[in-house]
Amino acid sequence: MGYHHLAFAAKNMKDIHHFYEEVMEFELVKVEIGPAPQGGWAKHFFYRMEDDSKFIAFWEMHDMPGTEGFESNISKAAGVPDHVNHIAFDVVDKADLDRRQQQWLDAGLDVLEIDHNWCHSIYTKDPNDNLVEFCLTTGSFTEADRERALEALTRDDVDASKPPATIISHRAEAAE
Protein backbone atom coordinates (compact mmCIF):
# COMPACT_ATOMS: atom_id res chain seq x y z
CA MET A 1 0.00 0.00 0.00
CA GLY A 2 1.31 3.44 -0.89
CA TYR A 3 -0.07 6.89 -0.48
CA HIS A 4 -2.44 8.52 -2.96
CA HIS A 5 -1.30 12.10 -2.45
CA LEU A 6 0.51 14.48 -0.16
CA ALA A 7 -1.14 17.88 0.27
CA PHE A 8 0.43 21.18 1.32
CA ALA A 9 -0.65 24.80 1.57
CA ALA A 10 0.95 27.07 -1.04
CA LYS A 11 2.11 30.65 -0.59
CA ASN A 12 2.40 31.34 -4.32
CA MET A 13 0.67 28.88 -6.63
CA LYS A 14 2.34 30.27 -9.78
CA ASP A 15 5.78 29.54 -8.29
CA ILE A 16 4.64 26.12 -7.09
CA HIS A 17 3.31 25.33 -10.58
CA HIS A 18 6.57 26.36 -12.25
CA PHE A 19 8.64 24.24 -9.86
CA TYR A 20 6.51 21.10 -9.76
CA GLU A 21 5.49 21.00 -13.43
CA GLU A 22 8.39 22.56 -15.29
CA VAL A 23 11.33 21.65 -13.05
CA MET A 24 10.13 18.43 -11.38
CA GLU A 25 8.20 17.27 -14.50
CA PHE A 26 5.01 16.41 -12.62
CA GLU A 27 1.81 17.11 -14.56
CA LEU A 28 -1.03 19.29 -13.28
CA VAL A 29 -4.10 17.12 -13.94
CA LYS A 30 -6.90 18.33 -11.66
CA VAL A 31 -8.15 21.20 -9.53
CA GLU A 32 -11.00 21.10 -7.03
CA ILE A 33 -12.51 24.49 -6.18
CA GLY A 34 -15.00 25.12 -3.45
CA PRO A 35 -15.91 26.51 -0.06
CA ALA A 36 -13.85 25.63 3.00
CA PRO A 37 -15.65 24.23 6.07
CA GLN A 38 -14.41 27.07 8.32
CA GLY A 39 -15.26 29.79 5.81
CA GLY A 40 -13.62 31.19 2.71
CA TRP A 41 -12.80 29.03 -0.25
CA ALA A 42 -9.87 27.19 -1.81
CA LYS A 43 -8.39 25.68 -4.94
CA HIS A 44 -6.82 22.23 -4.51
CA PHE A 45 -4.34 21.49 -7.35
CA PHE A 46 -3.21 17.90 -8.06
CA TYR A 47 0.06 17.06 -9.85
CA ARG A 48 0.52 13.53 -11.20
CA MET A 49 3.91 12.11 -10.27
CA GLU A 50 3.96 8.73 -12.07
CA ASP A 51 0.48 7.51 -12.79
CA ASP A 52 -3.08 8.11 -11.64
CA SER A 53 -2.34 6.69 -8.19
CA LYS A 54 0.43 9.05 -7.02
CA PHE A 55 0.04 12.81 -6.66
CA ILE A 56 1.34 15.82 -4.80
CA ALA A 57 -1.29 18.47 -4.18
CA PHE A 58 -1.34 22.10 -3.10
CA TRP A 59 -3.98 24.30 -1.52
CA GLU A 60 -4.41 27.90 -2.65
CA MET A 61 -6.50 29.40 0.16
CA HIS A 62 -8.81 32.42 -0.14
CA ASP A 63 -10.40 34.25 2.80
CA MET A 64 -10.03 31.21 5.09
CA PRO A 65 -10.05 32.31 8.75
CA GLY A 66 -6.74 31.81 10.55
CA THR A 67 -4.63 31.38 7.42
CA GLU A 68 -3.23 34.91 7.27
CA GLY A 69 0.57 34.83 7.34
CA PHE A 70 0.77 31.03 7.64
CA GLU A 71 4.15 29.28 7.50
CA SER A 72 4.47 27.10 4.39
CA ASN A 73 7.74 25.45 5.45
CA ILE A 74 6.54 22.30 7.24
CA SER A 75 9.63 22.06 9.43
CA LYS A 76 9.54 25.70 10.52
CA ALA A 77 5.81 25.39 11.23
CA ALA A 78 6.56 22.43 13.51
CA GLY A 79 9.51 24.20 15.16
CA VAL A 80 12.13 21.68 14.02
CA PRO A 81 15.25 21.96 11.78
CA ASP A 82 14.66 22.06 8.01
CA HIS A 83 15.95 18.55 7.33
CA VAL A 84 13.49 16.85 9.70
CA ASN A 85 10.24 17.24 7.74
CA HIS A 86 10.91 16.92 4.02
CA ILE A 87 9.43 15.43 0.86
CA ALA A 88 11.37 12.56 -0.75
CA PHE A 89 10.65 11.26 -4.25
CA ASP A 90 12.12 8.10 -5.74
CA VAL A 91 14.13 7.70 -8.93
CA VAL A 92 14.60 4.57 -11.04
CA ASP A 93 18.41 4.54 -11.25
CA LYS A 94 21.61 6.61 -10.89
CA ALA A 95 21.20 8.11 -14.36
CA ASP A 96 17.75 9.39 -13.35
CA LEU A 97 19.18 10.83 -10.13
CA ASP A 98 21.94 12.59 -12.10
CA ARG A 99 19.39 13.91 -14.61
CA ARG A 100 17.24 15.31 -11.77
CA GLN A 101 20.28 16.96 -10.21
CA GLN A 102 21.14 18.66 -13.50
CA GLN A 103 17.52 19.83 -13.88
CA TRP A 104 17.68 21.53 -10.51
CA LEU A 105 21.05 23.14 -11.28
CA ASP A 106 19.77 24.30 -14.69
CA ALA A 107 16.76 25.86 -12.92
CA GLY A 108 19.14 27.90 -10.75
CA LEU A 109 18.72 25.77 -7.62
CA ASP A 110 21.57 24.73 -5.36
CA VAL A 111 21.77 20.97 -4.71
CA LEU A 112 23.08 19.02 -1.74
CA GLU A 113 24.14 15.47 -2.66
CA ILE A 114 24.57 12.82 0.05
CA ASP A 115 25.54 9.17 -0.25
CA HIS A 116 23.96 7.76 2.92
CA ASN A 117 25.66 4.34 2.38
CA TRP A 118 22.33 2.60 1.71
CA CYS A 119 20.66 5.30 -0.42
CA HIS A 120 21.93 8.18 -2.53
CA SER A 121 20.05 11.48 -2.27
CA ILE A 122 19.93 14.97 -3.70
CA TYR A 123 18.16 17.85 -1.97
CA THR A 124 16.96 21.35 -2.83
CA LYS A 125 14.19 23.73 -1.69
CA ASP A 126 10.78 24.20 -3.31
CA PRO A 127 8.99 27.59 -3.53
CA ASN A 128 7.31 26.89 -0.15
CA ASP A 129 10.85 26.68 1.34
CA ASN A 130 10.40 22.95 1.96
CA LEU A 131 13.31 20.58 1.53
CA VAL A 132 12.64 18.20 -1.37
CA GLU A 133 14.68 15.12 -2.16
CA PHE A 134 15.19 12.61 -4.93
CA CYS A 135 16.42 9.34 -3.46
CA LEU A 136 17.78 6.13 -4.94
CA THR A 137 17.98 3.03 -2.74
CA THR A 138 21.44 1.55 -3.32
CA GLY A 139 21.64 -1.10 -0.62
CA SER A 140 19.58 -3.94 0.74
CA PHE A 141 18.20 -4.47 4.22
CA THR A 142 19.38 -7.31 6.42
CA GLU A 143 17.90 -8.96 9.49
CA ALA A 144 20.69 -7.24 11.47
CA ASP A 145 19.42 -3.85 10.19
CA ARG A 146 15.92 -4.70 11.43
CA GLU A 147 17.21 -5.91 14.80
CA ARG A 148 19.19 -2.69 15.27
CA ALA A 149 16.13 -0.59 14.33
CA LEU A 150 13.94 -2.50 16.79
CA GLU A 151 16.57 -2.07 19.50
CA ALA A 152 16.70 1.68 18.86
CA LEU A 153 12.96 1.91 19.55
CA THR A 154 13.55 1.25 23.24
CA ARG A 155 17.18 2.25 23.85
CA ASP A 156 19.18 5.46 23.45
CA ASP A 157 22.61 3.84 23.78
CA VAL A 158 22.67 2.19 20.33
CA ASP A 159 25.85 3.11 18.41
CA ALA A 160 25.62 5.96 15.91
CA SER A 161 25.27 5.05 12.25
CA LYS A 162 28.23 5.16 9.90
CA PRO A 163 28.67 8.72 8.54
CA PRO A 164 27.66 9.40 4.93
CA ALA A 165 30.17 8.21 2.34
CA THR A 166 30.07 11.62 0.64
CA ILE A 167 28.41 15.01 1.08
CA ILE A 168 28.78 17.42 -1.84
CA SER A 169 27.26 20.90 -2.26
CA HIS A 170 26.58 21.80 -5.88
CA ARG A 171 26.03 25.49 -6.53
CA ALA A 172 23.86 26.57 -9.43
CA GLU A 173 25.68 28.87 -11.81
CA ALA A 174 24.68 32.49 -11.48
CA ALA A 175 22.33 33.69 -14.17
CA GLU A 176 24.10 35.92 -16.66
pLDDT one-digit tens code per residue, 15-30: 999 999 999 999 999 9
Q: Is 1.10.10.60 the CATH number for 5-62?
A: no
Domains 5-62 and 75-170 share a fold: no
pLDDT in tens, 51-92: 999 999 999 999 999 999 999 999 999 999 999 999 999 999
List phi, psi (to 5°) of 30.
Answer: -160, 145
Give 38's Cβ-side CA count (13 Å radius): 8
Range 75-170 has CATH code 1.10.730.10: no
The pLDDT of residue 2: 86
First to last CA, the chain: 46
Q: Where are the domains of the chain?
A: 5-62, 75-170
pTM exceeds 0.85: yes
How, if at all, do strands 55-62 and 119-125 pair? unpaired
pLDDT band at 144 (very low <50, low <70, confident <90, very high): very high
Question: Kind and range of the H or E element at 103?
Answer: helix 94-106
